[in-house]
Structure 1
C-alpha cells in the first residue's frame, strides 16, 4: 500500500545512491554540503514517515518492514563511505564496525524470530542509539563541508563512540531476548 509514509520511507532508500555520489568526490566541500543537506532531509523523512503513519492510522506491514531497512541501508552506506574517505580515521573505524555488526546481527535475529512469530519491539535505548548514530554521521559529513571547524569532526567522533556503546548494549539486550527462543 503506497501511503505517504511508505513513499517517504521508499524515498530514503532510493536517495542513498545520490547521497553516496556526493560523499564520493574527494576534496569537494560543496559535495559534502549537498550530501549533508540530503542526509538531513533523509533524517526528516525518517521522523515524518513514522509520525504520519501513526497520526493517520496508516501503519502498514510494508512500512514496518521497510523503515528499519531504510535506516540500516542509509547508515551502512554513510559509514562505509566515511571510512573509505578517511573521515572516520584510524581506530575510530572500530566504533563504526561495532555499529555495522550489530545492525546485521539484529536484522538476522529479527528475521529468525519473525519466523517464530516473536516480535522484538524497539526499546527507548535503541531509539537513543539511532539518534546518536544519525547525529554522529551528520556531524562527520558536515565537518567535511566546513574544513576549518575541527570541533564539528571531533564531536562527530565522540558521538560515534557513544552510538557504538549504545549499539553494543542494545545489541546484547536483543540477543538475550532472542536466545530464549532458540533451541539449545
Structure 2
C-alpha cells in the first residue's frame, strides 16, 4: 500500500497541521517561510499523487480514502493559519467560514449517502475551486513574508523619512516602495482570490446537494 502516490498523500496529510503548528514553534518570518513551503509542496502533491497513481496503475483503496481527507485537511488547516495571521478581517474570515462550511457539508453528505456517494463525481469546476483556494492561501501566506521585509527596513527610521521615501520625495535606497507595492498587491490579490474561491465553493456545494437531492427524498 505504501507506493509513491500514497506516500505523497500521507505527506500532504502530515503537512496540513504543520502549516498551523509552525507558527507556535518558530517566530515570524521563519514560520511564514516554512508554512508557505509546506503548503505549496503539499498543494503540488495534490495533483502529483493522482497523476502518478493513474500513470503507474497504482490506485488503491488506501489512496482513495486518504486523498479527499488530505485535501480537506490541507485547505481547512491552512485557512486557520491565515485567519490567525490576519485576525477578524471580513475579507478573510467570511470567505474562510464559507469554504469550511462547504467542505464539512459535502463531507457529511458523502458519508450519509454511503455507496451512493459515487454518483457525486468531482467536476471540473470543483477542481478549479480547489486550485483557486490553494493559490489564494499561498498568496496570503506569502504576503506576510513580503510585509516583514518592509517592516524590517523601516524599524528605527524616522517616520517622516519613511513617508518621504514612500511618497517619492526622497530617494529609495532601501527598496521600500516596491516592497510596499508588493505587499498591497499580495493583500488585495489574496482577498479577491479568497472571495472567488468562496463563490466557487458555494456553487460547487449547491451542485453536489442538487445531485444528491433525489437520493435524500423518502420513497
2:145 corresponds in structure 1 to 145
TM-score (normalised: structure 2): 0.78
Change (3 A) 1:163 1:97: same
2:128 corresponds in structure 1 to 128
1:168 corresponds in structure 2 to 202
Post-superposition Cα deviations, 1:127-157, rounded to whole Å, max 9, x if no partner, equal 0000000000000001111104221121111
Q: Is contact 1:98–1:168 with CA below 8 Å preserved after alignment?
A: yes
Post-superposition Cα deviations, 1:23-79, rounded to whole Å, max 9, x if no partner, equal 446861222012111111111111110110010011112111111110100111111
SS of equivalent to 1:85? helix
Q: Report the Cα distance in structure 2 between the residues aligned to 1:92 and 1:76, rounded to whole angstroms.
A: 13
**1:115 CA drift (Å):** 3.8
Q: Which runs of 4+ in 1 moved over 3 A?
A: 23-27, 115-118
Q: Is contact 2:19–2:81 with CA below 8 Å preserved after alignment?
A: no
1:158 aligns with 2:192: yes
- The unaligned stretches of length 5 or more in structure 2 are 148-178
- The unaligned stretches of length 5 or more in structure 1 are none
Q: Report the Cα distance in structure 1 between the residues aligned to 2:199 and 2:137, rounded to whole angstroms.
A: 15
Aligned residues: 184
TM-score (normalised: structure 1): 0.92
1:78 corresponds in structure 2 to 78
Q: Report the Cα distance in structure 2 between the residues aligned to 1:87 and 1:146, rounded to whole angstroms.
A: 18
Task: Give 1 or 2 for the bigger CA radius of gyration.
Answer: 2
SS of equivalent to 2:58? coil
What pairs up with 1:83-122 in 2 under 5 angstroms?
83-86=83-86, 89-116=89-116, 118-122=118-122
SS of equivalent to 2:216? coil
Q: Report the Cα distance in structure 1 between the residues aligned to 2:74 and 2:102, rounded to whole angstroms.
A: 15
Q: Report the Cα distance in structure 2 between the residues aligned to 1:110 and 1:116, rounded to whole angstroms.
A: 8
What pairs up with 1:35-74 in 2 under 5 angstroms?
35-74=35-74
